[in-house]
């Protein structure tokens, strides 16, 4: 099927999903009742209607080939299944155990479609844990879980493209749930969970560490636990493959969109030329803000228990990554989209719903348009004489504005709540 046809179909699906979201928002009383009486049934129906049936239709009936990163995932899953050593025998930009985890469904069905289904099931498990965590806090938890199933970005990037970024929230969720159950002496558990996450998903999760160290009561204890797991793992990798285990870090050299750098680049180029071959320096500069803002928020809220602020700090961390890291891409919104919906969005407020829907539409549309027009780098304002470039650039700006709005609302939730509580 031609790529443009696929895109138009995605737009129609987005429209149908948006209508479904609006209807769901209008039925709060009904979902509140279902949450008390039939939550497992409604949740399962959401899984069947918005994930399993579409997966069957797309990959079994229409027989579409998986897109996005799935072919690359399948390549390294095959390598892992064949007994290969990650980074040496096959490429991987993920943590060392990731390829072996995603090879599990390939053992059952040797097909890339099995990995997509595996991603859907992982997302569902994370969504259920999220719902289970919030249902005692909000009568709208089941309604929010149903809305999540219909969010266009989640639908397209996980069901169609099989992205794994939602696993980041899954890891943070496990840490959060642990701190809820263990109000004190939680550093050992957090250290174990954090170290295992770094070994199983992506090094990107390290961005959360500085803020997390500010939030815990005994940061040295947590670091020692992490070191007890991480140092032997790194030593083993170096013994086996030398410095090849640094492959995931080298992946940060590619400039992507949308982020603050991609938006301001036409103006930056007026002052000095950016050498894309040395773009790692840009990411190191962006790293300062990516780390500093969540750390500052954690410091301002340091008198609150970690379980009260961890979701907000997680959101701030990954929003900042998308804003300030020049290598950040639109798909990373999946990392914190579920957390934003449950923690930040108030579906009673029109502005919140508008931003949520806009972010989802932009996340689906902007990356396609950018790739379709050959991934232009806007090094000069004169490029905007091309209306296609100008249109895509406006989409980037709108995306960044959505990120900034989420960061502002998260800051208010984490920091201003603390200010009001101590006033």
Whether the bond into 291 is cis, omega within 30 of 0: no
pLDDT of residue 329: 87
Residue 245 DSSP class: G
Per the listing, tokens 């089941």 go with 142
Whole-number Å distance between alpha carbons of 85 and 91: 10
User: DSSP class of residue 38?
Assistant: -
Say what the pLDDT of residue 289 is: 96
Which residue do the tokens 């036409």 mark?
A: 266
The residue to which tokens 């050992």 are assigned:
188
First to last CA, the chain: 60
Strands (E), 56-169: none
List the Cα angle 176/104/327 in 5-degree steps. 60
Residue 181 burial by CB count (10 A; 0-12/13-18/19+): exposed, middle or buried?
A: exposed
Q: Is 152 helix (H, G, I), strand (E, B) or coil?
A: helix
Q: Supply the pLDDT for residue 207.
A: 96
Distances (CA, A) of 349 to 285, 356, 401: 36, 11, 18
CA 105/CA 115 separation, integer angstroms: 6
Burial class (CB in 10 A: 0-12, 13-18, 19+), 135: middle
Structure tokens at 213: 């160290």
Q: Give the pLDDT confidence score for residue 41 in this predicted structure.
A: 98
Q: Write down the pLDDT at residue 272.
A: 86
CB 117, CB 53: distance < 8 Å: no
Q: How far is residue 325's CA from residue 37's CA, in Å, rounded to a whole number? A: 45
Residue 383 · residue 266 · CB < 8 Å: yes
**8 Å CB contact between 357 and 21:** yes
By the 10 Å C-beta count (0-12 exposed, 13-18 middle, 19+ buried), 97 is classed as middle
The values of phi and psi at residue 361, to 5°, are: -65, -45
Q: How many CB atoms lie within 10 A of CB 108?
A: 10
CA 324, CA 155: separation in Å to the nearest integer? 26
Distance CA 201, CA 161 (A): 17
Full pLDDT tens readout for the chain, 423 residues: 788 998 999 999 999 999 999 999 999 999 999 999 999 999 999 999 999 999 999 999 999 999 889 999 999 999 999 999 999 999 999 999 999 999 999 999 999 999 999 999 999 999 999 999 999 999 999 999 999 999 999 999 999 999 999 999 999 999 999 999 999 999 999 999 999 999 999 999 999 999 999 999 999 999 999 999 999 999 999 999 998 888 887 665 678 999 999 999 999 999 988 877 766 778 888 999 999 999 999 999 999 999 999 999 999 999 999 999 998 889 999 999 999 999 999 999 999 999 999 999 999 999 999 999 999 999 999 999 999 999 999 999 999 999 999 999 999 999 976 554 444
E strand or H helix at 337 = helix 334-343
Cβ(98)–Cβ(112) below 8 Å: no
| Residue 325 near residue 287, CB atoms below 8 Å | yes
CA angle 235, 173, 177 (to 5 degrees): 105
Q: DSSP letters along 376-422, please?
A: -----GGGGGSHHHHHHHHHHHHHHHHHHHHHHHHHIIIIIHHHHHH
């Amino acid at each position: 099927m031609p790529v443009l046809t696929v895109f138009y179909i995605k737009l129609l699906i987005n429209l149908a999903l948006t209508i479904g979201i609006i209807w769901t928002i209008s039925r709060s009383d009904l979902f509140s009742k279902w949450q008390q009486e039939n939550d497992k049934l409604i949740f399962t129906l959401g899984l069947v209607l918005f994930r399993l049936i579409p997966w069957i239709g797309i990959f079994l009936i229409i027989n579409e080939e998986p897109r996005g990163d799935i072919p690359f995932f399948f390549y390294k899953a095959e390598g892992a299944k064949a007994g290969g050593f990650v980074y040496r025998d096959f490429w991987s930009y993920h943590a060392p155990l990731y390829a072996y985890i995603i090879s599990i469904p390939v053992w059952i069905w040797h097909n890339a479609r099995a990995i997509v289904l595996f991603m859907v099931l992982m997302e569902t498990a994370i969504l259920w844990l999220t719902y289970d965590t919030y249902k005692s806090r909000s009568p709208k938890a089941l309604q929010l879980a149903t809305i999540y199933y219909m969010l266009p970005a989640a639908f397209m990037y996980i069901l169609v493209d099989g992205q794994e970024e939602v696993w980041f929230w899954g890891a943070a969720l496990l840490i959060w749930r642990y701190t809820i159950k263990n109000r004190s002496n939680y550093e050992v558990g957090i250290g174990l969970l954090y170290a295992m996450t770094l070994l199983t998903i992506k090094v990107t999760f390290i961005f959360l560490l500085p803020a997390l160290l500010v939030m815990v009561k005994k940061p040295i204890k947590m670091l020692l636990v992490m070191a007890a797991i991480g140092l032997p793992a790194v030593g083993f990798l170096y013994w086996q493959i030398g410095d090849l285990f640094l492959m995931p870090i080298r992946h940060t050299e590619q400039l992507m969109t949308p982020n603050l750098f991609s938006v301001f680049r036409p103006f930056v180029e007026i002052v000095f030329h950016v050498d894309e071959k040395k773009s790692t320096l840009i990411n190191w500069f962006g790293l300062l803000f990516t780390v500093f803002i969540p750390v500052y928020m954690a410091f301002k809220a340091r008198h609150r228990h970690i379980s009260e602020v961890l979701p907000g700090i997680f959101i701030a961390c990954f929003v900042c990554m998308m804003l300030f890291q020049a290598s950040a891409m639109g798909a990373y919104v999946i990392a914190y989209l579920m957390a934003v919906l449950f923690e930040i969005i108030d579906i009673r407020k029109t502005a919140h719903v508008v931003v949520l829907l806009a972010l989802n539409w932009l996340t689906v549309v902007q990356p396609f348009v950018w790739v379709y027009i050959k991934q232009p780098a806007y090094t000069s304002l004169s490029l905007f004489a091309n209306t296609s470039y100008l249109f895509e650039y406006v989409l980037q700006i709108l995306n960044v504005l959505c990120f900034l709005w989420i960061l502002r609302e998260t800051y208010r939730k984490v920091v201003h709540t603390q200010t009001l509580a101590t006033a």
